[in-house]
Structure 1
């Protein structure tokens, strides 16, 4: 293979790998933002749960539905919050797994980039010495 052609191919491979890394990094940032939002929601719901737990049996709970406050049964409110906490926790676990996977993909792409850069530099050196 002609040295100029080899450099072109390596340069294309480098660009492709860089594009892949950028896409994975974008997905990683989205996942981090999702995790942050879910963390916030989980904390809010835990605070609500704590408040509901100290509420006396004859206490009153109201749920905001649009512009209106609607009276809600205390037990029903506790169950709803519990289900929300359970759901958010499972979503957090899913996002955490996704983040770990994306982290590994980033490492793989960085490794590939590094190897391709070395090959590219070696091909450039070969071309210069000819």
Structure 2
């Protein structure tokens, strides 16, 4: 195989790896967006839980359902908020694991790209000497 053919193949492979890296980076950015949304929701729910803990057991609690405030049992409201916090926390853990996996893949792709670039440079240098 001639060096120009090998060079074209390596450049094509480099382009594919760069596209893969770009997709991974988009997935990482999307993960960060979703994670940010869940983090905000977690903070809001923790604040609601603190407020519920401050209330007397016989206090009136209302839940907004669409445009209507509906009276809700204090224990039920407390349980719902705790379940929501549990769910959001589990989602955040899942997103963290996914993010770690994506970042490992990203680092692997960067290493592969770097090695391909070195091969291309050495081929071009060898071609220039010939």
TM-score range, shorter chain: over 0.9
Q: Give SS of 1:59's match.
A: coil
Which residue does 1:35 correspond to in 2?
Answer: 35
CA distance in 2, matches of 1:124, 1:100: 36
| 1: CA distance, partners of 2:70 / 2:127 | 77
**Normalising by the residue count of structure 1, what TM-score does the alignment of the two structures yield?**
0.98
- CA positional deviation for 1:66: 0.7
| 1:126 CA drift (Å) | 1.4
Deviation at 1:128, TM superposition (A): 1.4
- 5+ residue gaps, structure 2, are none
Residue number in structure 1 paired with 2:79: 79
Post-superposition shift, 1:72? 0.4
Query: Map of 1:78-117 to 2, 5 A cutoff?
Result: 78-117=78-117
In the aligned structure 1, how far is the partner of 2:15 from the partner of 2:67? Answer: 53
Q: What is the distance in 2 between the residues matched to 1:27 and 1:110?
A: 15
Output one character per residue of 1:39-91: Cα deviation in whole Å (capped at 9) or x when no partner. 00000000000000111011011111111100000000000000000000000
Flag as ranges the 4+ runs of structure 1 deviating above 2 A: none
- What are the Cα deviations for residues 69-127 of structure 1, in whole angstroms up to 9, with x where unaligned? 00000000000000000000000000000111111011000000000000000111111
Distance, in Å, in 2 between the alignment partners of 1:37 and 1:101 is: 20
